[in-house]
Amino acid sequence: MNQSDRQRVVVTGTGWVTPLGCEIESVWQALLAGQSAVGAISHFDASTYPTTFAAEVRDFDARQHMTRPDLHEHIGWSASFALAAANLAWKSAGLGATNSVDRERTGIYLGSGEGTLDFDNYAGTNINSWDPDSQSINATQWITTAHQRLDPHRETEQEANMALHHIALDLEVRGPAYNCLTACAASTQAIGEATDILRRGDADVMIAGGSHSMIHPLGITGFNRLTALSTHNENPTGASRPFNRNRDGFVIGEGAGIVILETLDHALKRGANILAELIGYGSSSDAFRVTDMHPDSRGAVAAMRGAITDAGIAPDEVNYISAHGTGTSENDSVETRAIRTLFGEHAPHIPISSIKSMTGHLIAAAGVVEFIVCVLAIRDRIIPPTINLDAPDPECDLDYVPNEARNADVRTALSNSFGFGGQNDTVVVCRFDD
């Protein structure tokens, strides 16, 4: 489809559930202030694990964000994040309980991970202990007792598409419905694919984003075994250190984010407050190793180039990049290399930051939360910092907005998400000009 023939897509609502809170403005101010959400794990006893900290969602009451709480008696933890974010975004878009949208022309595209496993019902197992000798959890005992202990409702809530179900049920939307699970790229992919649905004219409104929580024994065990997590237990708030030469892995977080996307015609017709315009989407695969980005950065370059081409802009029109910036040795250096490769002489002049330094890595939900940050940076003309960047890696030699927010006239922002398995997704959003 030619750019001139396709529908323009705009952002009219935002909502999130993050380790820093659920209210858009207070979380945004915390990010601008460089506030870390990382602390000791409280969801289970992690005292014997190599990593004892995470960025958890705390003091969260899902029922406060449900239109019909009676419909969600068995909702899982991750799905409850998504439902809350969706309701917050719905209200932010000025939709509320109104009938200003055709529910059959309103769809959902989520990038949501599997729900939290049913650990609570495995009483008597060693589920909350790390065995330093075997570095494994007693899986045999789980399996032996599972048929006796597993709650059937909890079983269904472990499915990745349950967040979609609860949102559709609560908001009574009956349009196109999709869920993808492409690891850390998932919610960015969901935003991009939802944009294409709107461009084709298959819907008027799309609820897009994602949710995830892997702060449970299996999640922490798995990432520790992959040596992907930071073990900076003596200083949790300083553990997420993207682009720092002393970085030792990512800090796991949890949460959700949702944006309301509409065709421009539909948004204007109902008098919506337009926050930004989504103009580009690119996707690629590294076709390399499961946990490693290709060292020549080919996948990341392809995704960013695809998004810029789709947007119909020149690379030097990008004036902020929300980096994937996990704080792992490989990711940060490869992403830097990709930006240098694509943007050339313009690369050192682009402010780049990673909010994962404050929120931790929200896995499948990371991309949408970072996309919302781009929208807010455009709105307020200010860029959040990358905190804990006091010893820059010589290989990471770009402008990462270290430690303090920066005023900047952000008109066009690019947001990167790169997932295990080599999935790469990039979106471009700009200030709306009618």
Catalytic residue set: 184, 324, 361
Per-residue tokens: 377: 């940076």
Residue 156 · residue 162 · CB < 8 Å: yes
Considering all CA atoms of the chain, what is the largest pairwise distance in Å, rounded to the nearest integer?
A: 64
Closest CA to 353 of 379, 329, 382: 382
327: CB partners within 8 A, 6+ apart: 230, 240, 241, 242, 244, 247, 248, 249, 250, 251, 354, 356, 357, 361
Which two tokens mark 203?
Answer: 């819907």
Distance separating alpha carbons of residues 383 and 398, to the nearest angstrom = 15
* Cα–Cα distance, 14 to 381 (Å, whole number): 18
Q: Please name which of 47, 80, 420, 35 lies closest in space to residue 220, comparing C-alpha atoms.
A: 47
Q: Helices 329-343 & 298-311, crossing angle to 10 degrees?
A: 50
CB atoms within 10 A of CB 174: 14
